[in-house]
Amino acid sequence: MPSLRLPGSVRTLPFALRQALLLAAAVGVYFGVRHLTEGDVVTATRNAGRIVDAERALGIFVEQPFQAWALGLDGVTTVFNAVYIWAHWPVIIAVLGWLAWRRRDAFVVYRNALLISGVVGMVIVATFPVAPPRLLDLGFVDTVTLHTESYRVLQPPSLTNQYAAMPSFHVGWDLLMGIALVREAPYRWARAVGWALPGLMLVAVVVTGNHFLLDAVVGDAIVIAALALSVRLARRRDPANAHTEAAEEPDAGTRLPAPRPAPDRVPEPAVGRVGLEPTTQGL
């Protein structure tokens, strides 16, 4: 009796479900640790002041005037509130879900990068709490709280750490998903979304008063380092590919010279063969 071969999508379903449970548990731990390690307002405000001083020294403290300019434009706040809320966790879930369903090997790389960066982020939040700009007395406006309740649905206040502005994984993880779309998506429109996503989120976190520029820079740096480590680990787990690449492109110092072509065989002369041997008789 011939064996039953299930369609690829059916065989992928158990893997996708296992990964969904794993990531759900990891996200729960991430938010739980962030909530349990929430710093006090005095320390978080002092650390935020240090970031402001650093940005002023670098000449990049532009968040407050930029937000004030954006608030004066009709509809801008609404757009970037939506980006801040709906272009983060919904996008992460959609991109990772598609990778788990269609690109399993790539999914493992981006999943591990997300987990590694999350661990680093938890350590920073626990040891260096930072208040977001909206909680400082610097003239910032909390646009999300003022204009929408959607964020409370996606991230309940019981799991929120108000003093976890550093690093910004709103920007960092959107960069990770953007890289995944640019490198893995087969459609041009999806790759275009991948290119636009990190920049839109960077503007959104500033317009909404939720992060400083340095928060975004640190978030991006952690994610890029985590992705590089994840790629390295994936290559170590699959040495067959490395051997194949080495066989296809050998090192120049060990490459053997190509053998010379064999010379054409010269036919033997007819002289000396039976019946044609010269004679000295008669001389």
DSSP string, 100-160: HHH-HHHHHHHHHHHHHHHHHHHHHHHHS-B--GGGSSSS---HHHHH-SHHHHHS-GGG-
Q: What pLDDT score was predicted for residue 17? A: 80
Q: What is the pLDDT of residues 259-275, one digit of tens each?
A: 445 455 444 444 444 34
Place of tokens 């729960």: 28
Q: How many Å apart are CA 171 and CA 223, to the nearest integer?
A: 10
- 15 membership: H or E segment, kind and range: helix 8-36
Is pLDDT above 80 for 54?
A: yes
- 205 membership: H or E segment, kind and range: helix 188-207
Q: What pLDDT score was predicted for residue 14? A: 79
Q: What is the pLDDT of residues 178-224, one digit of tens each?
A: 999 999 999 999 999 999 999 999 999 999 999 999 999 999 999 99
Work out the burial of residue 157: count CB atoms within 10 Å of its CB; fewer than 13 is exposed, 13-18 middle, 19 or more buried: exposed
Q: What is the mean pLDDT of residues 39-48?
A: 90
Find which of 116-130, 139-153, 154-168 is predicted with most confidence, using mean pLDDT: 116-130
Q: Which tokens hold the place of 142?
A: 């909390």
3-class DSSP assignment, residue 181: helix
The contacts of residue 193 (CB under 8 Å, 6+ apart) are 178, 181
Q: Which tokens hold the place of 189?
A: 């429109």
Q: What is the mean pLDDT of residues 227-235?
A: 95
Q: What pLDDT score was predicted for residue 12? A: 66
* Domain ranges within the chain, ordered by starting residue: 9-238
Q: What is the pLDDT of residues 152-191, one digit of tens each?
A: 656 655 567 789 999 999 999 999 999 999 999 999 999 9
Q: How many Å apart are CA 64 and CA 230, to the nearest integer?
A: 36
Place of tokens 């709103």: 170
Q: 57 or 257, which is more confident?
A: 57
Q: How many Å apart are CA 111 and CA 130, to the nearest integer?
A: 26
Q: What pLDDT score was predicted for residue 275? A: 40
Q: What pLDDT score was predicted for residue 30? A: 73
